[in-house]
Homo-oligomer: A and B are copies of this chain.
Amino acid sequence: MTLMDGKSLRDELLQKYKEKIEKESLAIRLDIITVGEDAASEVYVRNKVKYATEVGIEVITHKLANSVGEKDIIELIDELNSNDKVTGIILQSPIPEGLDFKKCAGRIAHHKDIDGFTLYNIGNLYLGRESLVPCTVKGIMILLEHYKIDLKGKNVTVVGRSEIVGKPLTLALINRDATVTVCHSKTRDLVEHTKNADIVISAVGKKGVITEDMVADGFVGIDVGINRIEGKLYGDFDFEGVASKASFITPVPGGVGPMTVAMIIDNLIIAKTMKR
């Protein structure tokens, strides 16, 4: 069994990005907007700032109060959209209840949409013209590539159908000639689909929902779940059992998570250098 080490690959990639940014003197600026307070997302933002800064990217964080309205967020986004110094914009999720995240994030200019959530970038993914692809999806693709796991003709079961992971992942996998099955909370017999898969990608967000009896011998397991319980992180895989049957598997933490952060930098470089 090979552990897919997202952390090492992240560090390797960051080094490459750093060299590229220096060598080509790329003046990249990332603007992150947060609204209100959220403990988990504070950690995420801190990480984004840390790694972006390390590779030579300027990061500006805009902390909006809990009390702002959609209008204020959109005004700020419009301002950043038209500011030529700004390469990329991230609206950090979640934003306070009552505010429409999709509407606000959808306002980000598509060439500055580092998360790849705008209709334009999703549409391009759909059309097989990938450019700014959602970071988690891209991280998984690069991780699979790194470990030389071919997707062509493979049975891949995706568990979860969110707009951030499950759905864009499905499109990216179809683009790479995989046979994709999308499962979710309404799936009648999940085991039947996970057991039949060469590759299982779980993005449920429930500790240990994928167990040893649900997977095939020699399967490849990608765990997108990040479940924080009493300060500790757990994935969707019941790790020890599942790992005993895997040929390749990602740990949590240290698998997909670090790749996602690296892909933010990747997307920023694409945004900076893309033809428009």
Please state the number of chain copies in the assembly.
Answer: 2
A124 neighbours in B (Cβ, 8 Å): 119
A120 neighbours in B (Cβ, 8 Å): 119, 123
Contact residues, A166-200 vs B (CB, 8 A):
167, 170-171, 174, 177-184, 186-188, 192-193, 196
Known: A119-B123, A123-B119, A181-B180. Is A161-B186 also a contact (CB below 8 A)?
no
Q: Which of B123, B153, B186 contacts A186 (CB 8 A)?
A: B153
Whether the pair B179, A126 counts as a contact (CB closer than 8 A) is no
Q: How far is the CA of A120 from the CA of B161 in the complex (A)?
A: 20
A192 neighbours in B (Cβ, 8 Å): 196
A163 contacts B by Cβ under 8 Å: yes
In the complex, 27 of the A-B residue pairs with CB atoms within 8 angstroms, ordered by the A residue number, are A118-B123, A119-B119, A119-B123, A119-B126, A119-B127, A122-B122, A122-B126, A126-B163, A126-B167, A127-B163, A152-B186, A153-B186, A153-B187, A154-B188, A161-B174, A170-B170, A170-B182, A174-B182, A177-B184, A177-B186, A179-B182, A179-B188, A179-B193, A180-B181, A180-B182, A181-B181, A181-B182
